[in-house]
């Protein structure tokens, strides 16, 4: 039997391959304009088949968030991989094994202690491990503070005893709280300039820093061009989501990911429509809660992806979602009988995709043309 939207078991994850391709093409154009390389973060995608669909040349550098991703993408031919989560001693044996399997795996640190551990491990294994040092440019999370230039130099020297300083990297996490092109441009410039400043600290100390890596999806889309940056990392741009739409780097119609669900309850008096997608299918992420427009747990579309502008998933339980007319909108709840198929656009594509085993892939005609499994686990 041919798989169609009508006979897919719900809830399930849908991926519009043409929208995803368009999102990648747009990013390629931006990187070409900036004269900088792209190292896409595949923590959102997490699919070998999807990566091969997007990147025909496996020489494409990539970023991952788990060593399992590194292993699976490495097996399919992607070799230039950055594991962009701060390293711990317990993971170094697996790093060594992956590198011995031919994967040019780079790792990340943000502490003096791990520099010593990695240096000693490199000596013991006769394998200098290429390592990035993380820079915190906006007080968002991990990394050496912009004021820690002397500490950065010390860590780089300790690392270079037997390992290899591959470069420094930063992530402008605060950009997720912005919503104007000018603010994003300022954040992107700040991210780039602070990272370059830290690289200069290394150069001035006589330490080579061949790679300067920055990036987030919001700042990657900013209209800037700064010399000296060697690569940009971004990930959720492949799918986009409601958070990114709220920031202003995409429109809702650019969102390639959605959850197919079925109406299983209609309560006109209460103003509620029940669906079979709860937080187990949509995730519990409310990332738009702090934005100008709260999308609650997702925006509602019909089966073919046409947006119902005034319907949102207001609440979720484990296996139930509750749709209402958006608070403040004086409109009648539409009649959607039990069995009606709907799609829900996600707040946070990474979190929603993580709830599912794989993607039911659609073309621009809404035909189901493929199934791509996702990499699960760590």
Output the DSSP codes for 342-369.
EEEE-S-HHHHHTTSSEEEEE-TT--EE
The one-character DSSP state at 190 is H
Say what the alpha-carbon torsion angle 224, 229, 235, 239 is, to the nearest 10 degrees. 30
Nearest alpha-carbon partner for 309 in 331, 290, 287, 288: 331
Residue 376 has pLDDT above 90, yes or no: yes
Mean pLDDT over residues 109-115, rounded? 94
Q: Which two tokens stand for residue 376?
A: 């699960």
Q: What is the pLDDT of residue 282?
A: 98
The packing angle between helices 92-100 and 112-125, to 10°, is 40
Q: What global pTM score does this model have?
A: 0.96
The angle at the Cα of 367, spanning 274 to 26, to the nearest 5 degrees, equals: 95
For residue range 142-162, list pLDDT tens digits in order: 899 888 899 999 999 999 999
Q: Which two tokens stand for residue 335?
A: 């009649």
Measured from the Cβ of residue 229, the count of other Cβ atoms closer than 10 Å reads 24
For residue range 15-28, list pLDDT tens digits in order: 999 999 999 999 99
Question: Does a cis peptide bond (omega within 30 degrees of 0) precede residue 53?
Answer: no
Nearest alpha-carbon partner for 113 in 84, 154, 142, 150: 154
Q: What is the pLDDT of residue 106?
A: 99
Whole-number Å distance between alpha carbons of 250 and 257: 13
CA 265 to chain CA centroid, nearest Å: 34
Residue 1 has pLDDT above 80, yes or no: no
Domain extent listing, the chain: 17-239, 252-373
Q: What is the pLDDT of residue 148?
A: 86
Radius of gyration of the chain (CA): 22
Q: What is the pLDDT of residue 142?
A: 84
pLDDT > 90: what percent of the chain?
94
The angle at the Cα of 32, spanning 26 to 33, to the nearest 5 degrees, equals: 90
Fold of 252-373: Lyase, Ornithine Decarboxylase; Chain A, domain 1 (2.40.37)
Mean pLDDT over residues 325-349, rounded? 97
Q: What is the pLDDT of residue 139?
A: 77
* Contact partners, residue 21, CB within 8 Å, separation at least 6: 53, 54
For residue 358, the cross-strand partners are: 373
Mean pLDDT over residues 101-106, rounded? 98
Mean pLDDT of the chain: 96
Which option is the CATH number for 17-239: 3.60.15.10, 3.40.1050.10, 3.20.20.10, 3.40.50.360?
A: 3.20.20.10
Q: Are 219 and 226 in contact (CB under 8 A)?
A: no
Whole-number Å distance between alpha carbons of 68 and 73: 9
The phi, psi pair for 174, rounded to 5°, reads -65, -15
Provide the pLDDT confidence category of residue 317 given band limits of 50, 70 and 90.
very high
Nearest alpha-carbon partner for 254 in 75, 36, 16: 16
For residue range 182-237, list pLDDT tens digits in order: 999 999 999 999 999 999 999 999 999 999 999 999 999 999 989 999 999 999 99
For residue range 254-271, list pLDDT tens digits in order: 999 999 999 999 999 999
Q: What is the pLDDT of residue 292?
A: 96
Q: Are 276 and 264 in contact (CB under 8 A)?
A: yes
Residue 140 has pLDDT above 90, yes or no: no
Q: What is the pLDDT of residue 147?
A: 84
Residue 63 has pLDDT above 90, yes or no: yes
């Amino acid at each position: 039997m041919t798989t169609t939207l009508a006979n897919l078991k719900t809830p399930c994850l849908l991926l519009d391959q043409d929208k995803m391709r368009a999102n990648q093409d747009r990013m390629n154009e931006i990187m070409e304009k900036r004269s900088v390389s792209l190292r896409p973060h595949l923590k959102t995608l997490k699919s070998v088949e999807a990566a091969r669909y997007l990147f025909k040349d496996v020489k494409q550098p990539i970023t991952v968030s788990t060593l399992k991703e590194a292993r699976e993408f490495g097996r399919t031919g992607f070799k230039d991989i950055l594991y962009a989560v701060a390293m711990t001693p317990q993971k170094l044996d697996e790093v060594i094994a992956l590198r011995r399997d031919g994967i040019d795996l780079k790792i990340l640190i943000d502490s003096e202690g791990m520099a010593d551990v990695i240096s000693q491990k490199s000596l013991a294994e006769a394998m200098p491990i290429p390592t990035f040092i993380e820079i915190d440019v906006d007080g968002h999370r991990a990394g050496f503070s912009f004021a820690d230039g002397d500490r950065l130099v010390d860590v780089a020297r300790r690392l270079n005893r037997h390992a290899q300083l591959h470069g420094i990297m930063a992530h402008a996490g605060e950009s997720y709280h912005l919503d104007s092109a000018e603010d994003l441009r300022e954040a992107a410039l700040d991210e780039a300039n602070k990272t370059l400043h830290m690289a200069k600290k290394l150069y001035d100390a006589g330490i080579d820093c061949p790679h300067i890596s920055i990036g987030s999806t919001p700042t990657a889309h900013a209209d800037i061009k700064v010399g000296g940056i060697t690569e940009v990392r971004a990930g959720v741009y492949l799918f986009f989501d409601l958070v990114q739409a709220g920031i202003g780097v995409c429109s809702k119609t650019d969102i390639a990911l959605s959850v197919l669900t079925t109406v299983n309850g209609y309560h006109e008096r209460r103003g509620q429509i029940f669906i079979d997608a709860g937080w187990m299918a949509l995730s519990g992420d409310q990332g738009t809660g702090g934005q100008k427009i709260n999308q609650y747990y997702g925006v509602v579309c019909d089966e073919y992806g046409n947006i119902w502008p005034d319907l949102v998933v207001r609440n979720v339980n484990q296996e139930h979602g509750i749709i209402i007319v958006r608070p403040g909108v004086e409109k009648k709840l539409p009649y959607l009988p039990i069995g009606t198929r709907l799609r829900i656009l996600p707040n946070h594509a990474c979190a929603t995709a993580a709830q599912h085993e794989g993607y039911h892939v659609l073309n621009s005609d809404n035909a189901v043309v493929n199934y791509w499994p996702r990499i699960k686990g760590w």
